[in-house]
Structure 1
Amino acid sequence: MVVRKYFPSMYTKEDSAPAKSRNATLYLLRCVFLMGIRTPPQRFFVVYCLWSFALNLCSTFYQPIGFMTGYISHLSEFTPGEFLTSLQVAFNAWSCSTKVVIVWILVKRFDVATEILDEMDKMLTKSSERRNVHRAVALSNRIFFFFMTVYIGYATSTFISAIFMGRPPYQNYYPWLDWRASKWQYWLQTGLEYFAMLGACFQDVCVDCYPINFVLPLRAHMANFAQRLRNLGNDPDESADERYAKLVKCIKDHKVILRFCDTLRPMIGGTIFVQLLVVGLVMGFTLINIVKFADFGSRVAALSFMSAVLLETTPFCTLCNYLTDDSLKLADALFESNWIDQEKRYKTTLTHFLHNLQKPIVFMAGNVFTISVATNLTASKFSFSVFTLVQNMDIAEKLGKLSKPHEN
């Protein structure tokens, strides 16, 4: 029970415990702080600034440049497998850096969103409602640690595979450092690349998992809200004014939900748009590497990488489909309530509210296309187009021939 002691929010609390939806993002926001993109604390101001500078210099800003400079400087020295391993990560590194910058600019929206979650918690009155939130909180944190395990697993497996091959994992360019010159320079470059990739994976977990960590408690609140809508007008002891007041309160609660979505929409739209642009290309290079060039160790690392790439979009795109369905069910729940025998004022207000509830809650990727499973599949299928193009143009065979002089 050591894990439960140090990570209690990974476990479902009792129904009697007060609901704290913000705990669904507890470990996420701690890691966002460790990314070095929050306001430095007064107590450790210098330490935090130095850590932020080191991590973001290596992982956010220099790593994408190091990949491209390494290709230009030592392209002829790459084997095909090493080149594709580095290339697939390079594209993802550029997208990761872009997503980190987007989150960095909009990071204060996390604080606004957690405050709105606190508002939603005040709406809960029944143990069944708290139970739904407790389950969402536990599931959210478990997903976050699952993401962390997969991403860090990829970085570590690539590092171990590189050690056995005797070459740095990605052969990035570092000024005044030539890993071929001596053993200590080899280990220094390998360590620097591992640190940079660990930092990038750590950042990637945060920028890829935050939509899930925020949307899961939202879905729990929407399920509770649907039940409250369904129960409107069913209490025979209520007066007409009390029933109308409950309806007005539900309208205000719905506005809180919409405000929560509007708070996160710019950040989610930006980061998911960037990832959907590169997911097909990255997976295409990974498939080519696995099928044509990779040995056993490299295949393990490539499969870990592919799993991480799929995690960047697939779970949240699936959640968006569920969220849209949840929002449409709200209109059904209100229509199923006892409204037929109510007064004219109640019916008129309910009619306008019902019209607003029929508008689905959707997130857009860069205001260009809807984030959904269909969009994710379309982006992922591009990887097979890349693989087919390489097959038809015999690019893989040409790379293999170019590598033979290097191997000899």
Structure 2
Amino acid sequence: MVLRRIFPNMFQGPESAVVESRKASLYLLRCIFLMGIRTPPKRFFFVYILWSCALNLSSTFYQPIGFVLGYISHLSEFTPSQLLTSLQVAFNAWACSTKVIIVWILIKRLDRANEMLDALDKVVRLPSERERVQRTVALSNKIFFCYMSLYLTYASSTAFFAALMGVPSFQNYYPVLDWRASRFQFWLQSGLEYFAMLGACFQDVCVDCYPVNYILPLRAHMAIFAERLRQLGSDLEEKRQQRIDKLVECIRHHKLLLSYCDNLRPLVGGTIFVQLMVVGLVMGFTLINIAIFANFGSRIAAISFMCCIVLETTPFCTLCNYLADDCQMLADALFESNWIEQDERYKKIVLQFLQTLQKPIIFLAGNFFTISVATNLAATKFSFSVFTLVKQMNIAEKLAKTTSSQYQEPVEI
């Protein structure tokens, strides 16, 4: 199978393969390197610097500005569908640029997280445990490529249908370029916008998918850890001190899991907070465009864009709910272990450890609110509020009438 040879880590490896949880983010980190935000390699130093400048100047820094300048220069020339298509992407572009800068600043935390995963891999010994980690690695990489496929499909479909209608995708402002003047300038601006949007989608995949790629291995190791807790005290041939040593080793293991989460919190909290702030507004514009103004081609692009917006927060918020259940699973596993027949010292350690295990692992968005499915739904509901407000105030009808009158040809007398 060609795909398996090109991307082997998308598929579960053999039982004899070395367990490497860090491979769950292998393709993610390669794409982050291509974003131009890592230390330049010595061999291709200048090439990497040039590529980083081209990509980040066009996608990270200028594209959000280009949207605003385009509105200032040619707002009256936008049709309602074009305006809403541009607005929905403009807000998301600002959010994407902010998230890229956050990841750029805190990128070393991803490297430290992989080092912690290497430490967690050292206790993976049983065939069933190895299979669980390998299955998680394959699933994580498949999810990354699903993100990439959907995001790039949106960028390409938007550019394609815009070209069919004879306008650039978003009508950004570029100095000394007027796409209405000639076909050459039209295709030049369309190409520049497509390159910038491809770069932005490429960046968006990385900054949206990394929480999923790093939480999935954590959940796999928590499931393995739960089985270890459940087996504590079950070996009747162990001596008293050996059982206490195993229990203390489990406490250290749990501290490593908590340190892994603490390492990721500033990074995850910053990027998810930014996205939750704009998701409702962006989806509101998209819903209005789909329901009222968009034609067939624009609807396809808008629907694919909405799928991308849902992927930016929903999977990770769902995983955060699962993490809370996993913490309860750890507490239940320790309680189900053979602690009743142990001595008083062992029981006291178990009691203290049990209280620690019962505390759920929580990620906060910007240190303000808990990341969960409920939070995601609350942010998403705002899109329906935007849609309802536009419908009740008849803004859509007024905008359509204003636009049609602007494009109406003058009557000759």
Q: TM-score range by the shorter chain?
A: over 0.9
In the alignment, residue 401 of structure 2 is paired with which amino acid?
K
The one-letter code sitting in structure 1 at the alignment partner of 2:66 is: G
Q: Is the 8 A contact 1:92 1:282 kept in 2?
A: yes
Aligned to 2:239: 239
Report the equivalent of 1:362. Answer: 362
Q: How far apart are residue 113 of structure 1 and its match?
A: 0.3
Q: How does 1:5-404 map to 2 (within 5 A)?
A: 5-404=5-404
Amino acid at match of 2:127: S
Amino acid at match of 2:35: M
Q: Distance in 1 between matches of 2:125 and 2:24?
A: 19
Letter of the 2:363 partner, please give it: F
1:3 alignment partner AA = L
The residue number in structure 1 matching 2:411 is none
Letter in 2 for 1:72: I
The one-character-per-residue Cα deviations of 1:51-96 (angstroms, maximum 9, x if unpaired) are: 0001000000000000011001000000000000000000000000
Instruction: Note the C-alpha offset of 1:398.
Output: 1.3
Deviation track 1:243-302 (CA, whole Å, cap 9, x = no partner) reads 111001000000110010011000000000000010000000000000111000000000
* Displacement after TM superposition at 1:345 (Å): 1.6
SS at match of 2:55: helix
Structure 2 residue matching 1:327: 3-state secondary structure: helix
Offset of residue 16 of structure 1: 2.8
Q: For 1:38 and 1:173, how far apart are their aligned partners in 2?
A: 29
Q: How many residues align?
A: 408
Q: CA deviation at 1:401?
A: 1.1
What amino acid is aligned across from residue 320 of structure 1 in structure 2?
A: C
Q: CA deviation at 1:364?
A: 0.6
Deviation of 1:348 after TM superposition, in Å, equals: 1.3
Shift of residue 407, structure 1, vs aligned partner = 3.2
**Per-residue CA shift, 1:342-375, capped at 9, x if unaligned?**
1122111111111111110011101111111111
TM-score normalised by length of structure 1? 0.99
Residues 270 and 365, structure 1, Cα contact 8 Å, conserved in 2: yes
Q: Partners of 1:280 and 1:189 in 2: how far apart? A: 30
Q: Which amino acid counterpart does residue 204 of structure 2 have in structure 1?
A: D
SS in 2 for 1:167: coil
What percent of counterpart residues are identical?
68
Contact 1:21 1:121 in 2 (8 A): yes
Could you tell me whether the CA contact under 8 Å between 1:88 and 1:285 is conserved in 2?
yes
Give the letter aligned to residue 174 of structure 1: Y
SS at match of 1:174: coil
Shift of 1:14: 2.2
Separation in 1 of the partners of 2:125 and 2:233?
A: 17
Aligned-partner Cα distance in 1 for 2:18–2:104: 32
> How far 1:205 sits from its partner (Å)?
0.2
Q: Distance in 1 between matches of 2:160 and 2:371?
A: 36
Cα separation, 1, equivalents of 2:150 and 2:162: 18
- How far apart are the structure 1 equivalents of 2:168 and 2:397? 24
Unaligned segments of structure 2, at least 5 residues: 409-413
Q: Could you say what secondary structure the match of 1:90 adopts? A: helix
How far apart in 1 are the matches of 2:103 and 2:55? 16
* Contact kept? 1:268, 1:365, Cα under 8 Å: yes
Query: How far did residue 18 of structure 1 move?
Result: 2.0
Q: Which amino acid aligns with 1:301?
A: A
Matches of 1:240 and 1:128, distance apart in 2: 28
Amino acid at match of 1:246: K
In the alignment, the residues of structure 2 paired with residue 34 and residue 14 of structure 1 have an alpha-carbon distance, to the nearest angstrom, of 30
Moved beyond 6 Å, runs of 4+: none
Unaligned 5+ runs, structure 1: none
Pairwise CA distance, 1:13: 1.4
**Contact 1:15–1:128 (8 Å) recurs in 2:** no
Kindly provide the amino acid, as one letter, of the partner of residue 138 in structure 1.
A
Looking at structure 1, the residues matched to 52 and 123 of structure 2 have their Cα atoms a distance apart, in angstroms, of 38
Q: Structure 2 length normalisation: TM-score?
A: 0.98
Matches of 1:317 and 1:342 in 2, distance apart? 40
